[in-house]
Each structure stands twice: as C-alpha cells, then as structure tokens.
Structure 1
Amino acid sequence: MDDDVSLKFRKQLLFIDENLMAEDVAALKFLCIDLLPFRKLESVKSALDIFHLLMAEEYLNEEDNSLLVELLHRIKCYSLLKKLGYTKEKVQECLHEKGRVSPYRQMLYELSENITDEMLKDIVFLLQDCLPKRRIPLSALELLILLEKQGLLTENNVQMLEDICLNVSPDLLETVNCYKKAKVSLPQQENTVPVKEALLPHTGDIRVFTCPQETSIKYVSSNINDNKSANLSQGFSEMHLELPGEFSNVENETKKMAIYKMDGPHRGFCLVINNVNFDGSLQERKGSCKDAEELKIVFTWLGLDVRTYSNLTSLEIRDLMRTWQHLQDHKDRDCFICCILSHGESGAIYGKDEELVSIRTIMSHFTAKQCPQLAEKPKLFFIQACQGKEIQRPVHVEADAQIPNLTSMQQSISPSESIPEEADFLLGMATIDGYVSFRHIQQGAWYIQALCSKLELLVPRGEDILSILTEVNEDVGRRVDRLGTKKQMPQPAYTLRRKFIFPIPRDPPPSQQH
C-alpha cells in the first residue's frame, strides 16, 4: 500500500516536471534559495532535480506536499494545482498559516515578474559598475541573484532596490515598500525553536529562521563550526515555519497596496475649464488664465492630452461632460483628469451664466456605469473655487465666491458627499466646505500654483497623488494674505482603491526647462 502511494506521488512529480517550462524551473530555483544549499541549486537542470533536493532535506514527501503546492501557486501554475486536487483559493487560505517561502523571497520574485525587458536593460546599465564584467544577467531573477552574491541586496537592506525602482519605474516601489512595512511590523520577541540553515549565495553566512513569533531573518557568523551547523540541521524536520497571518503573505500586502496601471499607450485626457468672465454681477477672475496655463504645461509634461475651455455656461459644462463621457478613446487611456477654475458655492461651481452646476453631477458622468471606458481607472478632479461666502479681502487677493446679493445653494454639501459612491475617484478641493479660496490677481490661485509646484517637485521622486496633495495642504496652509489675517486649507476626498503614481517624465520639470 505504501509502495502504491509512493509510486503515485512520484508519478505526480514526473507529470509536473514534464509540464513546466524553463522559466518555471528558474522561478522554482529562485524561490527555494532560502531553503536549499545554493551550491546544489546552481547545478539544477530540471524541476525533478529540485524535487530530489527538497525530498533529501525532508521538505517534500508523499505525506506532505504543502511546499510543492505553495511553489506551484507562487509561480501561478494553477492548472497543475488542479491536477493535484487543489484550488487557487484554497491554497491562498492555507498560505496564511503554512507558507514557507520567506516574505523577502516572495517580494523579490514578484518584483522580477514586473520587470520588463526594457526595464532590465536600464537596470543593467545603471548597475554596470556593480555587476561582474564577465557575466551579464539574462533575466530579472539572475540579476537579483547577482546582487545577492555581491552582498548588495539582503532581506535587511533593500536600499539599492529602492534606488533602482525610483530611477527605472516608480511603480515597482510599491512591492518593496509593502515588504518593508510588513518587516518593520513583525514582533521582536525572541523564540527558540528548531531551525534550518541555508547558505547565503554570496557568503558563508547562515540564515536562521525563527518561528512562530518572529519571522525576521537573523545572521549568524560563518565561523560556526561544523558540529554546531549539524546540530542546527538536526530536528528541523520537526519544524513547520508558520508566519503571522497579517504579515505572512507579501502577495496580500501588495494587493492591498497596489497601484493603478499607468503603462498604457496613452496617459489620458485632462480637461481645464477656465471661467474668467461672467454675465452678471460675479467679478472677473483675474489671474485665473495663469492658473490654466500652468495646469496645461504641467499635465502635458506628465503625458496627458490637455484640452482647455474658457467661459462656459452651466449648460455648456453639462454638455461638455456628456461629450467626454461618451468618448471611446478613453479605453486606451490610463486615467482622466478634469480641472475647473471658477466661482463657486458649497458643493457646486458657477457657469458663465451664473447658474450653479453640482460637482457631484459633473463627476457622475464618469462612473463605471456611465463611462465604461474608464471603469476601474482613476478619475481625478481638481476644483479651484470657493465653497462659501465672499469675505473681506485686501486688494491683491480676491476670493472665488459669490457676491453677497446672489442666492446661495439651498443645502451645504461637503466634498466627501460630492464624490460619486463608486470607486476610483479623487476630488481635490481648493478649500474646505463653507470657506473661500484665494487667488492672487497676477500670480494665480494659491491652490493651483501649489498643486503645479508640488507635482513638478514630487512626481520625479515617485510620490503618489495623496502624498502630493498632503504637501499641497502644507504649502497652502502656510500661506497668508499680506495683512496676515486670511488663511486657506485645501481638502482632498477620494474613493481610490489603489495608489495613483504618475510615471516619471523623461523631460525635466517645466520650471527647469527655461
């Protein structure tokens, strides 16, 4: 009976080996680096070689194939999992408690999966002085292994990875950041249990895992004698590495902290509606044309197709939203941005005809239901307009508000209530509900000028949009009118599900081009 079980198990391993590609074998080798002696892994030619090593180290047998199942899940061979009688979802649940591939190794592998051939060329170019002259890595996995061999990359030091990601593709940073956050949050309590040695590829150091309370990796000097090493090896077959659920799976962490894809053929459209002159008693918005021009320059630099519209009535604004709502070209774009510069009241902006248009109405044209081409894509709206009554102001500063004898909206609406209930929206308001926003008649609005300035400064650093808007809040919050009596505080509200990070433009910021 036992022979039958063993034969069936080995037939399964043979079937898996026959159905794995060369890149799958390379991925398996990489994921096992922390579990198997690296010198033995270097000689591996097939998946069967890896299975032999795992069985020799008692990681794999007919009674316990959990590591094999985990590895197949990690490399996304879900059809082979099904052959073994497992579902993707069932394995995912078990990984919380029984995952053996370290968070560090998971992070590196996930990173490699997102490094394109073009990115790899750029990385190799950046690191040409650090890599062995006689060997150029052919894949992202080989590159990461080389960095580990050089001692430039360890689970406790991923600074080089961060620098590479920042220069080549900030989108990659999220994977590294999730790993760092999970690692910092791991409990620091020591716990003595049987341990397993694994030789680092670049030194003779021994990597020791402790569990279950502590899963961070510690280094032990390589001068440990053979007897001690042997003692470490003994008894590990009794140990099952269990990671804390909330930190065990970097895939889950990364999923929670994922970023919007920004690698499509076109970045997206940016509408700028600039209402300067009005038909009735609302004052001319002097300085607003400078804001509109600044927005056009900055968002063009960020890769968007900017379209500017001036002095639109409330009806024209609604018609314009319907036109852009039905544009089929959105399907090839990464995002959509709309900037509105006008006078305003709580939850609404004024058209040239001095009729109010609800901000929520404007944004609702671009929900997933109303605009399927932008479904699951980020929609950003920036509103430079007052959200309350006009206040007394000095000559050089004007408020984008209704003059006293005009009727206000019947009901006050907060920014969070202005956003459609659907996901993937961001609303950046120049001021909090009920208050005025300020605009210099020559230099432009405090909010728009701060927004453009911070985009130029922080996009090249790989910052996400919410971090940038926090900096905008800080900038505007420090400003004061020339009499030192009037302040302003912007307010973002959002239903974004992921981080929104602009790809770093190849050209220098507009302010540095002159």
Structure 2
Amino acid sequence: MTNSDSRKFAAHLLEIDKNLGSEDLEALKFFCIDLIPWKKLETVESAHDIFHYLMNEDILNEEDNFIVAELLYRIKSISLLTKLSYTKDAVEEDLPRKGRVSEYRQMLFDLSEGFTKGDVKTASFFLRHHIPKKLSTDSALELLTCLEKQCLISESDISLLEETCRKISPELLKILAAYKERQESKEQSMETLSSAGAGGFYLLKGLSIKDPPRNHYPQTEESGSMREYAGSVHSFAASQDLKAGNVQEPSLQQPAGQDQLKPAAEESALYKMNRRRRGYCLIFNNVNFEGGLLPRKGSQKDVLELESVFKWLGFEVKKYDDKTLAELNKLLKDWQSSECWKDSDCLVCCILSHGESGKIFAADGSLIPIRTITSFFTAKQCPLLAQKPKLFFIQACQGDKPHNPVYIEADSHEPGSPGADAQTSGFIPTQQQMKSTIPEEADFLLGMATVDGYYSFRNVHHGTWFIQALCNKLRELVPRSEDILSILTAVNDDVSKLSDKNGEKKQMPQPAYTLRKKLIFPVPSDDPPVSKQL
C-alpha cells in the first residue's frame, strides 16, 4: 500500500472519530472490552485511541478495516460506514466470518438500550451491596461494566441480571431468555459433535469456533414516505399507527449447518431521548422588516412561551431577532457544522415571521423557501443529526386567503371566541397546493401554523394562535407521555375552535412529517412552567 493510501486510511479514521459523540465512544469502549485490556480502556479519551490500539495489535490495518466497520454497525452509526466503503448489507454478510464481538457482549448492549436513566438508578439501588459505594452513574453500560469487573456476571452466569430485570423492568427478561436459549442450543450442538468420537473431534477442528453473529438492530436510513394532513384532525390521528410501528431486523445469513438466530428484541419504536443533552431549540423571530411589511407586534409573547417550555423540556434555547437573508444563511451554516449535535437527541427550530406559499420573509424583505431552511439539516448535510428527529415549527402566513367558518349545530353552548389580529404579508401565492417543504428523507417533522394559501392569526397582545396552542399542549401532554404527533393533533383541535372577534375567520394548522418512530419527550422532573399569559 502506498503512502498516499496510508494517509487516506488515517484520514478516514480521523473523520470517523470526529463524528462520534461521547455516548458513541462509551459504546465503542464497551464493545472492545474483550479486545482491549481494562486498564488500557480506562485511559481511552477518543475513538482514535481505540483505533490506535487495535492497529498496534494488528486487529486493524489498511488492508483489513472490518473491525471498525463492525463496531460502527453495532453502535448503530450506519451513516459512517461509507467512510470505509462499507454498506450495512456488506457488514451483515461478513459478520459470520469476520465478527470479533461476542454474542454475550451484544446481549449486554441490547439490554443497556432498554434501560432508562430511572431504571439505572433503581438498579444501582437494588445492587448497592454488590457495587462500589463511590459508583454514581446514570449509564447502563457503566453499571454493567462494573458488574463484570466485580465478576458478578459473566458469559455463563447472568442470574444477577435476571434477578435485577425481574425487579425493575420485566420486559427485558425476553433479551436474557433469548440469549440463554441460544447458548443452550450451542451447547447441545457441541455435545452432539463430541459424542461422535474422533470423527466429531476432527469435525470440530474444521469449524471456526467463534460466536455466531448477534442480533443487530441498526437504525435504517431508508426514508419514510411523506404524509401530510390538512383540515382533517381525525385523518391525522387515525393514521398514527402507520408511521411508528416496530421495525423487525431480518435474520442474518448463517454459516452452513447452523440454525438462524432468533431476534433478542425488536428495534425500539421510540426515538432515543435519553442523552445527557436533549438538544438545542433555535428561535428565529422576525418582527421588523424592510420593504413595507408591517411589524409583527405580539411575536415576543410567542418567544417567551417557546423559551420557557423548551427549557423545561431540557433544550438549550438560542434566540435570534430580525435576521436578514444573509445573516440567516450564515447562522444556519454555523449550526449545520456545529459539533454540539454529537451529544444531542434532537433539533428544534422555530421560525416566526411573515410568509407566503412555502416561503418565509427575512428581515430585509427577502424570501427564503422553507425547504431550503430544513435542508441544511439533512443527514447528508449534517451527519451528526442523522437518524435523530428534527422538528420545525413555522409561524407564518402562507398566503392571504381566510378560512371561513362552517356552521354546525351544537348540543351545548361554548364560550365566546377570542378576538385576533391577522396581519399578512399582502402577497398572493402563485400556487394553491402546498409545496414539498421538507426533505424527502427520514426524521423530519414540520408543524405549519396554517395550510398553504391561507393566512394565520396573531394577537398583538397575546401572540399567535398556533404557537400559544403548541406551548399549552406541550405543558399539558408531555407529563402524560403523549407523543409529538398526538400533541399536534390536540393543537389542531384547539386552533380549529378559535375564530376572530366577529366569528368570521378561522385557522387550520398543518403538520407534515417523515418520522420513522414515535417521539416522546421525557417527562421533566420539574412542574410545567406557568404560561406567560397568566
């Protein structure tokens, strides 16, 4: 191999290291416990340290980089496989022959994925007589590593794990039961071969006595089809089962003579929302404009509500006021390349401005397509957010047609509707159908204040109907562990019941999404913040 190839190989490893967060590193170290001595792992500070040790042991080299591909596959960093010219299917095909991680290690990792932070704390209390008093962690991997170091669990003895799961999370017993069943099956096969005498001995000698591939549950990168809902709250709610179903990983190809392994568990149907940092909430609030557009009085009320609610949900909030098109583009590029997404669960971006069909106005009067804004954060453009949910809430008119009420008879009298101040851009949309405003790939959600072609309402004293309803429903329904689509259904319902002071104008929000799983915000330990409107 030439010096040029060696430099290219090293550059690829450095690029992989750059794109891995602290939790990815923790998982890498866990998977390398059987490859790297404990004391060495304790000094590891980066993925590059791991790669360097593997190269020194000739487990990794320029001609054979499969161990890195296997590790990336197991920690579910599928998008980084391309750095090594691998695909998910290619790794799966080679695992039976070249895999280095034991089935036991994979089982423990699968088990850790099922533990919440609360489960870890409960387990630590339950195991307090077995683990060092100084150990204080909310990491399931760290707890399992501690149990291994104390020789309390091993490949042949998982009884303590069974007892612990039975106490705190019985559903995880399925993973342990599946592992024991596979171990028993292997032992029976070995006994059968041994009983064959000398012939069995030579047959055993010809086999590769290496653990068969584990059950793998990498997150797919295939994009879900876009589903858009407008006007009908019921059709939106009724279709939720279609987009958050469990994903069953197909069985991997096994060597001849071996039974295919049964899945230990299904891939989680929920987005991972248990990192130390929930993520960032970016709020772009345009109030004053050049070019004759009216000021958006009352928008600051929305900002206060959004900031309060998303801080409560664990996000770090960043606010930007009255940004021109050039300033907005620069900020989006800065966030696109930010390293902060390594350890984040999620991106939330709220844009409050004037708008027209499929676009919003910057403070200098320039238009920018909503699709352009969201596309800054696709998996290709922002790899650190790959397979993580990206939520965009757009408060802007999408035309200047009003929603007229449809009168129905009611069995009970409802209180009078609040007055509203509708101020639109004054532009008439050139298209009457909503443009595709989010990338046609997975993990995006777009919450529009109104459907295409119509304006939205903003009260100069209390803020906009959509943002206020969104914040109210987050405060009310997150503590009930409702998923984000159910929350937006409730927002649709609330906003649809509002009308202007004359009862003549209505508004209907419109969600669109390519989410692959349910998104449920962890319930904060603090009580919901009091509305700034009270």
Amino acid at match of 1:461: R
SS at match of 1:262: coil
CA distance in 1, matches of 2:475, 2:169: 35
Tell me whether 1:447 sits opposite 2:470 in the alignment: no
CA distance in 2, matches of 1:424, 1:272: 20
Q: Which residue of 1 aligns with 2:445?
A: 426
Q: Which residue of 2 aligns with 1:478?
A: 497
Are the aligned partners of 1:277 and 1:284 in contact in 2 as well (CA < 8 Å)? Answer: yes
Are the aligned partners of 1:287 and 1:440 in contact in 2 as well (CA < 8 Å)? Answer: yes
Q: Which residue of 1 aligns with 2:231?
A: none
CA distance in 2, matches of 1:272, 1:398: 22
The alpha-carbon distance between structure 1 residues 366 and 397, as it changes in their structure 2 partners (threshold 3 A), is same
Amino acid at match of 1:414: M
Q: Which residue of 2 aligns with 1:492?
A: 511
1:320 aligns with one of 309, 327, 331: 331
1:307 aligns with one of 278, 295, 318: 318
Q: 1:347-426 maps to which residues of 2 (within 5 A)?
A: 347-389=358-400, 391=402, 396-403=419-426, 406=427, 408=428, 410-412=430-432, 414=434, 417-426=436-445
CA distance in 2, matches of 1:512, 1:356: 32
Amino acid at match of 2:163: E
Are the aligned partners of 2:422 and 2:455 in contact in 1 as well (CA < 8 Å)? Answer: yes
Q: Which residue of 2 aligns with 1:142?
A: 163
Are the aligned partners of 1:271 and 1:307 in contact in 2 as well (CA < 8 Å)? Answer: yes
Q: Which residue of 1 aligns with 2:155?
A: none
SS at match of 1:367: coil
1:457 aligns with one of 459, 472, 476: 476
Q: Which residue of 2 aligns with 1:506?
A: 525
CA distance in 2, matches of 1:120, 1:263: 12
Q: Which residue of 2 aligns with 1:119?
A: 119
Tell me whether 1:297 sits opposite 2:317 in the alignment: no
Q: Which residue of 1 aligns with 2:354?
A: 343
| Superposition deviation, residue 265 in structure 1 | 2.6
Amino acid at match of 2:384: Q
Amino acid at match of 1:401: T
Are the aligned partners of 1:347 and 1:413 in contact in 2 as well (CA < 8 Å)? Answer: no
Structure 1 spans left out of the alignment, 5+ residues: 1-20, 22-75, 77-86, 90-108, 127-137, 156-176, 183-247
CA distance in 2, matches of 1:125, 1:373: 34
| Superposition deviation, residue 262 in structure 1 | 1.4
CA distance in 2, matches of 1:376, 1:147: 29
The alpha-carbon distance between structure 1 residues 288 and 420, as it changes in their structure 2 partners (threshold 3 A), is same
CA distance in 2, matches of 1:505, 1:392: 37
What TM-score, normalized to structure 1?
Answer: 0.53
Are the aligned partners of 1:438 and 1:445 in contact in 2 as well (CA < 8 Å)? Answer: yes
SS at match of 2:387: coil
CA distance in 2, matches of 1:378, 1:444: 27
Structure 2 spans left out of the alignment, 5+ residues: 1-33, 35-73, 75-90, 94-108, 127-158, 175-240, 247-261, 405-416
CA distance in 2, matches of 1:435, 1:148: 49
Are the aligned partners of 2:444 and 2:515 in contact in 1 as well (CA < 8 Å)? Answer: yes
Are the aligned partners of 2:418 and 2:500 in contact in 1 as well (CA < 8 Å)? Answer: no
Tell me whether 1:268 sits opposite 2:279 in the alignment: yes
CA distance in 2, matches of 1:327, 1:110: 30
Cα RMSD after superposing both structures: 4.2
| Superposition deviation, residue 141 in structure 1 | 3.2
| Superposition deviation, residue 391 in structure 1 | 4.9
| Superposition deviation, residue 505 in structure 1 | 1.0
Are the aligned partners of 1:344 and 1:400 in contact in 2 as well (CA < 8 Å)? Answer: no
Are the aligned partners of 2:359 and 2:370 in contact in 1 as well (CA < 8 Å)? Answer: yes
What per-residue deviation string (whole Å, max 9, x for no partner) do you get for residues 181-224 of structure 1? 99xxxxxxxxxxxxxxxxxxxxxxxxxxxxxxxxxxxxxxxxxx
SS at match of 1:290: helix
The alpha-carbon distance between structure 1 residues 325 and 110, as it changes in their structure 2 partners (threshold 3 A), is closer
Are the aligned partners of 1:385 and 1:437 in contact in 2 as well (CA < 8 Å)? Answer: yes
Amino acid at match of 1:119: D
Are the aligned partners of 2:336 and 2:376 in contact in 1 as well (CA < 8 Å)? Answer: yes
Larger Rg: 1
CA distance in 1, matches of 2:501, 2:349: 31
| Superposition deviation, residue 392 in structure 1 | 10
Are the aligned partners of 2:419 and 2:502 in contact in 1 as well (CA < 8 Å)? Answer: no
CA distance in 2, matches of 1:123, 1:297: 33
For CA contacts below 8 A with separation 6 or more, give which structure has more relative contact order: 2
CA distance in 2, matches of 1:293, 1:423: 30
The alpha-carbon distance between structure 1 residues 145 and 320, as it changes in their structure 2 partners (threshold 3 A), is closer
Are the aligned partners of 1:390 and 1:400 in contact in 2 as well (CA < 8 Å)? Answer: no
What per-residue deviation string (whole Å, max 9, x for no partner) do you get for residues 76-111 of structure 1? 9xxxxxxxxxx989xxxxxxxxxxxxxxxxxxx988
Amino acid at match of 2:524: P
Q: How many pairs align?
A: 311
What per-residue deviation string (whole Å, max 9, x for no partner) do you get for residues 291-341 of structure 1? 011101111111111011111122222222112111122112111111000
Are the aligned partners of 2:350 and 2:392 in contact in 1 as well (CA < 8 Å)? Answer: yes
What TM-score, normalized to structure 2?
Answer: 0.51
What per-residue deviation string (whole Å, max 9, x for no partner) do you get for residues 342-381 of structure 1? 1111101111122211000001111111111111111110
The alpha-carbon distance between structure 1 residues 250 and 498, as it changes in their structure 2 partners (threshold 3 A), is farther
SS at match of 2:478: helix
CA distance in 1, matches of 2:443, 2:403: 38
Percent of pairs identical after alignment? Answer: 51
Are the aligned partners of 2:418 and 2:499 in contact in 1 as well (CA < 8 Å)? Answer: no
Are the aligned partners of 2:447 and 2:510 in contact in 1 as well (CA < 8 Å)? Answer: yes
Amino acid at match of 1:466: L
SS at match of 1:470: helix
| Superposition deviation, residue 280 in structure 1 | 2.6
SS at match of 1:463: coil
The alpha-carbon distance between structure 1 residues 320 and 512, as it changes in their structure 2 partners (threshold 3 A), is closer
Amino acid at match of 1:115: F
